[in-house]
Each structure stands twice: as structure tokens, then as C-alpha cells.
């Protein structure tokens, strides 16, 4: 086995670890998923054969390892079944109108590194499960039906968690980014 292949794989470790940490939060679980990915990549060198970018290929393997990890942890620690009307309802007044009407956010924020860093901080402030479901949907790109299946929750529960995540994130970004500019 050519050693430069191993070196190239190893060079992707920091990127993969960042990717896994975003999804899993738990450093140990993220490192395990990356380690399993790198091992699988060494074994499967022939099936790589330069068909795609190395990073893209490794990320594809990593996604599966992340899902395995999420599946394991959701078995050990089932999702809280809390569907009560929540604090987010405080965003609206008694007649159902926004207390603070949402503003028109400038699109240029997407080009700013600091904005994405603020977003990561806002994600980290979400309850663990809420952020997990949100990232499975928006970052890993799973359909809600797949998320429900993996986590053993109902579609309604899934929609509630996604709604909570979006509303909490837009509050957080308004407060820490758009409202300060």
C-alpha cells in the first residue's frame, strides 16, 4: 500500500473531526467516528480509486459512522418526549402576532466567516437533541422520515424539534449578529 495514500487520508483528519464534532458534540464520539472512517478508508483504498475528491469520499463514509453513533446513543438515551407548548410561544402575543416582527436579513452575511462562527455558537446553545435533529436535517440532508426512523420518534415530534431549532436560531442570530449591525 503506497504510504502517500495513508498520508493523504491522515491529512483530512482535522477537517473530518470538525465535521463530526458539529454533529455529535461529544468529543470522544466524534473522534471514534473519525477513527472508524479512516480505518474503513485504508481498507477500502481500491474502491476509492480517485473517482471523486478524497475529502468528499471520506465525508460520505463519515456520515454513515455519524448515523451509527447517533443510533447507538439514541438507544441508550431516548429522546425526551416533551411536546408541551413551550417558551417559543412567548415570541407571540395573545392574538398570535410577533412581539418583535422578524426583519429582512441581508444575504451578504452568508459570505462572512464571523457570521458562520456566530451560527456555530448559537447551535451549541441549543438543547443537544434539538440540535442533533436540526443538523441531521439541514447539514446531513436527511428527510424527516429517515430522521424519525433513526431516532424512533414521530413525524410530529420531528417537526416540533425542527421548528424549535429554527426559531431559537433566528432569535440567537438576531440578537448576536443582525441586531448588532
Partner 1 sequence: MIDCKHAARLMSRAMDDRLPLWDRVRLRLHLAICDACTNARRQMQLLRRAVQRLV
State the residues that interact with partner 1 by CB under 8 A.
15, 18-19, 22, 89, 91-92, 95-98, 101-105, 107, 109-110, 115-116, 119-120, 134-135, 137-139, 143-144, 155, 158-159, 162-163, 166-167, 169-170, 173
Residue 173 φ/ψ, nearest 5 degrees: -70, -35
- Do 44 and 57 meet the contact criterion of CB atoms below 8 Å apart? no
Per the listing, cell 493523504 goes with 8
Least CB distance to partner 1 at residue 158 (A)? 8
Nearer to partner 1, 5 or 15 (CB): 15
Distance from C-alpha of 31 to C-alpha of 123, rounded to nearest angstrom: 20
- Do 151 and 101 meet the contact criterion of CB atoms below 8 Å apart? no
Nearer to partner 1, 11 or 77 (CB): 11
Nearer to partner 1, 9 or 158 (CB): 158
Per the listing, cell 478524497 goes with 54
Per the listing, cell 453513533 goes with 69
Least CB distance to partner 1 at residue 28 (A)? 19
Least CB distance to partner 1 at residue 1 (A)? 28
Least CB distance to partner 1 at residue 76 (A)? 26
Distance from C-alpha of 174 to C-alpha of 181, rounded to nearest angstrom: 10
Nearer to partner 1, 27 or 75 (CB): 27
- Do 119 and 173 meet the contact criterion of CB atoms below 8 Å apart? yes
Least CB distance to partner 1 at residue 174 (A)? 8
Nearer to partner 1, 80 or 120 (CB): 120
Q: Which residues pair with 92 in a beta bridge?
A: 98
Amino acid at each position: 500500500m503506497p504510504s502517500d495514500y495513508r498520508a493523504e487520508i491522515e491529512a483530512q483528519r482535522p477537517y473530518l473531526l470538525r465535521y463530526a464534532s458539529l454533529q455529535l458534540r461529544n468529543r470522544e464520539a466524534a473522534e471514534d467516528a473519525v477513527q472508524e472512517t479512516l480505518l474503513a478508508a485504508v481498507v477500502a483504498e481500491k474502491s476509492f480509486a480517485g473517482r471523486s475528491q478524497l475529502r468528499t469520499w471520506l465525508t460520505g463514509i463519515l456520515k454513515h459512522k455519524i448515523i451509527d453513533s447517533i443510533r447507538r446513543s439514541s438507544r441508550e438515551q431516548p429522546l425526551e418526549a416533551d411536546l408541551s407548548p413551550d417558551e417559543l410561544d412567548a415570541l407571540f402575543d395573545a392574538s398570535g402576532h410577533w412581539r418583535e416582527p422578524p426583519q429582512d436579513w441581508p444575504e451578504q452575511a452568508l459570505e462572512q466567516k464571523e457570521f458562520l462562527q456566530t451560527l456555530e455558537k448559537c447551535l451549541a446553545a441549543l438543547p443537544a437533541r434539538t440540535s442533533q435533529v436540526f443538523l441531521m436535517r439541514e447539514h446531513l440532508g436527511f428527510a424527516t422520515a429517515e430522521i424519525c426512523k433513526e431516532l424512533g420518534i414521530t413525524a410530529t415530534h420531528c417537526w416540533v424539534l425542527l421548528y424549535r431549532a429554527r426559531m431559537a436560531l433566528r432569535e440567537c442570530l438576531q440578537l448576536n449578529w443582525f441586531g448588532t449591525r
